[in-house]
Amino acid sequence: MTLTATLTHRPASAADLGAIVEFPQSAQELFFSYPKADWPLSVGQLAAAMAERRDSTVVLLYDQVAGFANFYQWQHGDFCALGNLMVAPWARGQGVAHYLVAVMEQLAREHYKARRMQASCFNANSAGLLLYPKLGYQLSGLVERRDPQNQRVALIQFDKAL
């Protein structure tokens, strides 16, 4: 049995929030996936994000919630911007992020007729910086942001034609 046979996905539900808020293991990890959130991530903060965003989706690995993502921007016929990408600590390194990004690309095409997907990653997020180019994303921009300690950080922007 291959690993991909154990990965499935579905729309995120309120019942998933308690598991998802446990994914970020530090304030820095939370900043990478949800810069506006306060550490520790709460169900209320995540529910508010889901209410403002579109297509919140979970990946299941061995029938357990293992990944989460959504779109924080969407423009029908043009693009979707991937947001809140998180993977459970126990599921990291098992293909969850690869699968989840592919699912979100498909949702962008199906729901928004998107021609491209955008993703952003902070400079200290090595996992993300290595993930997106591997999945065919090209560097498209660099923007200065501030982290929770008010330090300058670089938000590296990626783009992929769908």
Which domains does the chain show, CATH number per domain? 3-118 (3.40.630.30)
82 near 100, Cβ under 8 Å?
no
Average pLDDT over residues 88-108: 97
- List, for residues 103-143, the tens digit of each pLDDT value: 999 999 999 999 999 999 999 999 999 999 999 999 999 99
CA pair distance 49, 146, nearest whole angstrom? 20
CA pair distance 78, 148, nearest whole angstrom? 32
Whether residue 99 has pLDDT greater than 70: yes
What does the pLDDT read at residue 2?
47
- List, for residues 135-160, the tens digit of each pLDDT value: 999 999 999 999 999 999 999 999 99
